[in-house]
Amino acid sequence: MIKTTSTRICLFAACLGGSLNAIAQERPIAFTNAELLPISGPPIAPGTIIVVGGTIAAIGPAAATTVPANAETIDCTGRVIMPGLVDTHSHVGGGWGGDASGPIQPDVRILDSINVRDSGFRKARAGGLTTLNIMPGSGHLLSGQTIYAKLRKASTIDDFAIRDAAGKPLGGIKMANGTNSQKDAPFPGTRSKSAALVRQKFLKAQDYRRKVAEANGDAAKLPDRDLEMEGLLDVLDGRIVVHHHCHRADDIMTVLRLRDEFGFKVVLHHVSEAWKVAEQLAKAKAPCSVIVVDSPGGKIEAMDLSLATGAVLEKAGAPVAIHTDDPVTDSRLFLRTAGLAVRAGMSREKALEALTLAGATMLELDARIGSLAVGKDADLIVLSGDPLSVQTKVLETWVEGEKVFDRDDPEDRLFAVGGYGAGRDQKAHGCCTDERLSETK
């Protein structure tokens, strides 16, 4: 469908360098004559995007955008291009966070348990997702640290990591209240107990911080290192964002109460009853990442879940993203969730933003991803038509200037539509791995 003039970006020599992360796209790529949905600005049609070194070097009307002479040109006439989708809440990869030993486990990192070959990642790419916040579950008050993952072709979790300037993988921390995290002791049995346990733990972290400060670098006075406390201090000092599962309106307000008491940054997730407290959420400037599912119910907390939550929050002025919570909704149908939100009254513009820039902002990655703008990572998807139409197919998914999904590739197509073998873990993606395996035969 889409003509390309070069074959594989992954060169043998580049692979010897180790991490696939390090492979930079060298030859400029020009996506020409597409309908562009930059999200951060009005649609451009026909438009051209120039990608150099994995970032967007230029974007503009086709007539006014010069294609470099050495560029690989991809004619996207009749296609729609929008930013790669950002999923603020995913469980793809088979990762497990905290275990049954206790309700608050800030030392646990989901990155230590993710299988990057999980077929779910291939399905996510087929759905147009390029960045995921991969989370541990909601069965704890605090189930562990999350990882912000780029769906690059990967052999290890290191290839997925999005890093800060110091090279540290970025992520948030997962918390939950309501019924999921209530069970037998040492877990809480009530909502009040849940809040009390969290308050106690944050107070302890504040004490730890004070002791570290009082030691003033004196090794003799420093408290022993405590991974749990260090994780919580990342939260209290605003270095990482709390991603908080909550459904009921009162649980939502409890999270905001704790936020205001301890001063952490928080994104509210699922928020089934946010429509009941939309004005308060807007006033509190509380970022809301909404789940859109086919029916209410399934548990008491979701009995008043509404397809109109996004619409109500939008009208109240609260920031809205939409997430998959994969496997609760299938990553391949992420665009569909925005369609259903529009069905229930959300504006098209805000619904598309909810899949991209709004989520990027909630992950504090909006300087790098979430819109088609010069200087941003070249994470984009090529669509066959209107992103909100059931008939539209994701044709290609690109991460940092590399094509990671191509519907014309039979293997990729299998994961896009399903079929025999689509549930299997994917093959290793290192360009030399297949050769290496065949050599052992």
Partner 1 sequence: MRACSHVLAFVLTALAVAAQAHVPAAEAPPLVAVYGDVVHTMAGPPIEKGVVVIDGGKITLVGSALDIPVPPAARVVRGKIVTPGLIDAHTAVGLTGYLNQDQDQDQLDKGEPIQPELRAIDSYNPRERLIEWVRGFGITTIHTGHAPGALVSGQTMVAKTIGETLDDAVIVPAAMVAVTLGDDARPGDEKKSPGTRSKAVAMIRGEFVKTQDYLRKLGLGDPEKRPDRDLRREVFADVLRGKLPLLVTVNRATDIDAALRIAKEFGIRIVLDSAAEAYLADDRIKAAGVPVIIHPSMRRGGNGETENISFETTAMLRAKGIPVAMQSGFEGYVPKTRVALFEAAIAAANGLTMEQALATITSDAAAILGVADRVGSLRRGMDGDVAVFDGDPFEYTSHCTAVVIDGRVVSEEPR
Which of 244, 53, 271, 234 has the alpha carbon at shortest distance from 143?
244
Shortest distance in whole angstroms from residue 47 CB to partner 1: 24
Strand 242-246 with 266-270, pairing: parallel
Closer to partner 1 by Cβ: residue 233 or 352: 352
Task: Sort 391 into a burial class: Cβ within 10 Å, 0-12 / 13-18 / 19+.
Answer: exposed
Shortest distance in whole angstroms from residue 94 CB to partner 1: 10
**Is 85 a binder of partner 1 (CB under 8 A)?**
no
Closer to partner 1 by Cβ: residue 102 or 385: 385
What does the angle CA 433 – CA 16 – CA 157 come to, to the nearest 5 degrees?
Answer: 65
In the list 189, 238, 263, 421, the residue contacting partner 1 (rule: CB under 8 A) is: 421
**Is 343 a binder of partner 1 (CB under 8 A)?**
yes
Sign, CA dihedral 13-15-19-24, equals positive
**Is 318 a binder of partner 1 (CB under 8 A)?**
no
Shortest distance in whole angstroms from residue 326 CB to partner 1: 9
In the list 158, 226, 330, 349, the residue contacting partner 1 (rule: CB under 8 A) is: 330
Shortest distance in whole angstroms from residue 4 CB to partner 1: 25
**Is 317 a binder of partner 1 (CB under 8 A)?**
no
Q: Hey, which residues between 184 and 203 contact partner 1 (CB under 8 A)?
A: none
Span interacting with partner 1, options 20-28, 137-145, 304-312, 368-376, rule CB under 8 A: 304-312
**Is 295 a binder of partner 1 (CB under 8 A)?**
yes
Q: How far is Cα 288 from Cα 299, in angstroms, rounded to an integer?
A: 21
Site track for partner 1 across 119-148, x = CB under 8 A = x---x-------------------------
Shortest distance in whole angstroms from residue 305 CB to partner 1: 7
Closer to partner 1 by Cβ: residue 364 or 386: 386
Closer to partner 1 by Cβ: residue 201 or 343: 343
**Is 388 a binder of partner 1 (CB under 8 A)?**
yes
* Number of chain residues interacting with partner 1 (CB under 8 A): 46
Q: How far is Cα 421 from Cα 436, in angstroms, rounded to an integer?
A: 23
Closer to partner 1 by Cβ: residue 78 or 296: 296
Give me the DSSP letters along 311-336. Answer: HHHHHHT--EEEE-TTTTS-GGGHHH
Strand spans (E) along 53-98: 55-61, 72-75, 80-83, 85-90
Shortest distance in whole angstroms from residue 127 CB to partner 1: 12
User: CB of 287 within 8 A of CB of 267?
Assistant: yes
Give me the DSSP letters along 268-296. Answer: EEE-TTGGGSHHHHHHTT--EEEE--SSS
**Is 389 a binder of partner 1 (CB under 8 A)?**
yes
Strand 29-36 with 44-52, pairing: antiparallel
Residue recorded with tokens 């598309």: 352
Span interacting with partner 1, options 140-148, 232-240, 251-259, 382-390, rule CB under 8 A: 382-390
Q: How far is Cα 241 from Cα 342, in angstroms, rounded to an integer?
A: 28
User: CB of 159 within 8 A of CB of 20?
Assistant: yes
Task: Sort 373 into a burial class: Cβ within 10 Å, 0-12 / 13-18 / 19+.
Answer: middle
**Is 304 a binder of partner 1 (CB under 8 A)?**
yes
Q: Hey, which residues between 260 and 289 contact partner 1 (CB under 8 A)?
A: 275
Applying CB under 8 A, which residues contact partner 1?
Answer: 119, 123, 275, 293-300, 302-308, 311-312, 315, 327-330, 333, 336, 339-340, 342-345, 347, 388-391, 417-424
